[in-house]
Amino acid sequence: MSRNAESTAFRSALEVIRAVEPRVADAIGAELTDQRESLKLIASENYASPATLLAMGNWFSDKYAEGTVGRRFYAGCQNVDTVEALAAEHARELFGAAHAYVQPHSGIDANLVAFWAVLADRVESPALKKAQVRQVNDLTEADWFALRRELGNQRMLGMSLDAGGHLTHGFRPNISGKMFDQRSYGTDPATGLIDYDRVAEAAREFEPLILVGGYSAYPRKVNFRILREIADSVGATFMVDMAHFAGLVAGKVFTGDFDPVPHAHIVTTTTHKSLRGPRGGMVLCQPELADQVDRGCPMVLGGPLPHVMAAKAVALAEARRPDFADYAQRIVDNAQALADGLLRRGATLVTGGTDNHLVLIDVSGYGLTGRQAEQALLDSGIVTNRNSVPQDPNGAWYTSGIRIGTPALTTRGLGTAEMDQTAELIHTVLTQTTAGANADGTPSKAKYTLDADLADKVSRQAADLLAPHPLYPAVDLT
């Protein structure tokens, strides 16, 4: 696509929107400006390509398409079939998966599809067998009662939230924690690393139906071969949530024991984050689970979003290009350079570094909570998010950590030298921020003090760092 074409496409779209609701057009333009001017270090965010973004704004949005390719509950879905089949094909080829389901609207939806697919595949009961061969509406109330008893109280073993797991891995306020009798495995208190012997011990004691691997804030590789062996030893289904690091798998940075696809029975992911696609989810699985996974709609999901599936097809096609592997490797190189820069300046990092795309800073060494550090950095043009650290004394709301990641800045073209400068900016802000107090004089976990002139100076330095690497350089909205 030419630079002219990209500018024309987005400018024209905003003109059409402005004619109906100018405030929405203004907000869209402002978001591009904000993203261009900020150091985006949120590990779960990235920048989708113009082609991916444009694939979402079209007439596919107008179609209902419940069902799967060739088996829809609505007529006129032949074009939806085309884009869904293309997205699934690209996913299978990219990840070496036997089956791909590209309908989930988000990572949480993908996990729910996986959970229910495993339950339906693994739990044996007369009621469930009826559900598999009869229409759901034909089940009697007695059938439903038996089915609920069989599906309830199944066991899940997943990584704890403070150790880096995700809330959908059995965290109590989430639906996964209500669906399953759940237990968590943590990390070694001394190293912050997964202790596979302890995971095996927990699995033998708890005997879960599902063993979950994957994370949202664990800065190291995971050995999925060992976790599969643990799952097999207790007869568990092994599920991996690779939402955060899917781009590193796609780019062949994680291979062998560290590639979850050959080892897991079922794998879920988002399609944004390090994969650099549209906001959405996806499920990859072994053939024996394919039929259950394909029942995701209407089992768990509402109607598929054909316009987003079209964008997934575009993004997955991009990820199959040779330059994506180079991009994925640069993500890790940048994360390690950022970690090294912070360590040299005295920061405390969970596990002492990183093997992947993210770095987890324990900001208690700066005398701050995660919430205070997050806001002070935002005041200074650096966008991060607060995150728990292992055995976090401040809990999941205030936290003691800041999670940062490199997928977005790597997309912009920043390299290892700029990562060291970024480490300097972060360290400067955190060392110059002081915790505040409540009105009664007690220490506050939210209030802080940061000199406004310093924040402005760091914001200008961040802008200077970004200037040689413009975001969407072909898009001019003026």
- CA-to-CA separations, 14 to 20, 27, 28, 54, in angstroms, rounded: 10, 10, 8, 12
Task: Assess contact for 428 and 342: CB atoms under 8 A.
Answer: no
241 part of the active site: yes
42 burial level (CB within 10 Å; 0-12, 13-18, 19+) = middle
Indicate which residue of 72, 220, 228, 273 is catalytic: 273
Q: Cα(429)–Cα(462) distance, rounded to whole angstroms? A: 12
Task: Please state whether beta strands 154-159 and 210-214 pair in parallel, antiparallel, or not at all (unpaired).
Answer: parallel
66 part of the active site: yes
Indicate which residue of 122, 225, 279, 345 is catalytic: 279
Closest alpha carbon to 52 in 303, 285, 311: 311
Three-class DSSP labels, 132-145: HHCCHHHCCHHHHH
* Main-chain dihedrals φ then ψ at residue 137, nearest 5 degrees: -65, -15
- CA-to-CA separations, 66 to 216, 262, 306, in angstroms, rounded: 30, 30, 10
Q: For 242, which DSSP code?
A: -
Closest alpha carbon to 29 in 12, 48, 14: 14
- CA-to-CA separations, 439 to 443, 444, 447, 449, in angstroms, rounded: 9, 9, 11, 14
The beta strand positions in 257-328, using DSSP E, are 266-270, 281-285
Beta carbons within 8 Å of 365's beta carbon, 6+ residues apart: 346, 347, 348
Indicate which residue of 241, 318, 374, 392 is catalytic: 241
Transcribe 403-432 into DSSP letters: EEE-HHHHHHT--HHHHHHHHHHHHHHHHH
3-state secondary structure of 267: strand
User: Token pair of 322, please?
Assistant: 């040779």
Indicate which residue of 270, 351, 354, 410 is catalytic: 270
Indicate which residue of 11, 37, 45, 64 is catalytic: 64
Transcribe 399-410 into DSSP letters: -SEEEEE-HHHH
3-state secondary structure of 387: strand
Beta carbons within 8 Å of 248's beta carbon, 6+ residues apart: 254, 274, 328, 331, 332, 356, 357
Indicate which residue of 66, 89, 150, 333 is catalytic: 66
270 part of the active site: yes
SS3 content of the chain, % helix, strand, coil (to 5): 50, 15, 35
Residues noted as catalytic: 64, 66, 241, 270, 273, 279
